[in-house]
Amino acid sequence: MASPGGARSSALAHPVPDPPGPFLHLDHSSDQAARAADTLAARWEAFERGRRWRFFVLVPALLLAALAGGVLDLAMGFHVRLATWYAPMLVGAALLARSATRPAGRAGRAARLRHWWAPPAWRKPLASCREMLAAWADPSDQVRGWIDLSGSPQPHQRVAGWPRHGATLYRDVWCRLSIETRRLRLGLRAIEERLVLPGGRIRRRWRAHVVAVAREPYGRPPQLRAPVPGAAGRLQILAARAHRHRLSLRLKTPRRRLAWADLAEVLRVAGASVPLV
């Protein structure tokens, strides 16, 4: 279980993210995996509340204390700088506090006030993963993999062979899970691609690769059918291929989400046994 202070797993060779974000390593039964995701979300929500409190209370208090030092010297009328000497130290402490309370899960150093007030970048994708994990409630089901919401881009996410024509491509595999039940083996990989163009323009796209293998403990597994490419709720099916009891899907997903309800319906129509949503 990751915490705000230790947002990385030592078992995975990930470089140190800057800034940090939620990281969840899973090797649990399904019910324990859902509780682990809920606990991680609760810890990071508490961390965000504390971060905002420190920024909006501590930083103004230090700046006001620095200003009060100069006012105090003027009010005393000694024409000697006594309290004013502490003003630069208080301003420096305010700058350090500002840096220490900058938002987590965002790329680069946030410099504007709106970055401190904006919702955390990890909240929606983590909520999407929690929604998916909550659907698998059988303790006999196994969940393995990881969810990495430390933010994009990171140096290790730069795609080899770039930049090209002045543009740089980052590929962030932020979710990689394997769920195994008695009737289904599901592998899922969610990707965010971020293309940084000359002039600071940014283009993003979100994709997912899903592999479903039907199982039957007491007989022959059912045949899976490939859905027709096209819109499927909030998902876009880019390519689908089925061979006997194996189905491979390449999807275009909403912004940093998995759209589990739509994916479950696609798998159910294809003949796979998935839990009710």
What's the confidence (pLDDT) of residue 6?
A: 41
More confident position, 103 or 7: 103
Is the pLDDT at 14 greater than 50? The verdict is no
Q: pLDDT tens-digit profile of 146-172?
A: 998 877 677 778 888 888 888 989 899
**How confident is residue 64, by pLDDT bands cut at 50, 70 and 90?**
confident
Better-scored residue on pLDDT, 243 or 70: 243
Per domain, the residue ranges of the chain are 23-44+120-269, 48-117
Within the chain, strands assigned E span 23-29, 142-148, 168-180, 184-196, 202-214, 230-232, 235-243, 246-252
Q: In what order do the strands lie in the sheet with 246-252?
A: 23-29, 142-148, 168-180, 184-196, 202-214, 246-252, 235-243, 230-232
Q: What is the widest separation between alpha-carbon atoms in the chain?
A: 95
For 208-253, the pLDDT digits (tens) are 999 999 998 888 899 999 999 999 999 999 999 999 999 999 999 9
Instruction: Tell whether the model's pLDDT for residue 276 goes beyond 50.
Output: yes
Q: How far is CA 54 from the centre of its chain?
A: 23
Categorize the per-residue pLDDT at 15 as very low, low, confident or very high, splitting at 50, 70 and 90: very low
Residue 260 reports pLDDT greater than 50: yes
Q: What is the pLDDT of residue 98?
A: 62
Collapsing DSSP to helix, strand or coil, 18 comes out as: coil
Report which of residues 238 and 69 the model is more confident about: 238
Residue type, 146: W
Q: Is the pLDDT of residue 45 over 80?
A: yes
**CA dihedral angle for residue 7, residue 13, residue 16, residue 20, rounded to 10 degrees:** -30
Mean pLDDT over all residues of the chain?
A: 81
Neighbours of 46 (CB within 10 A): 11
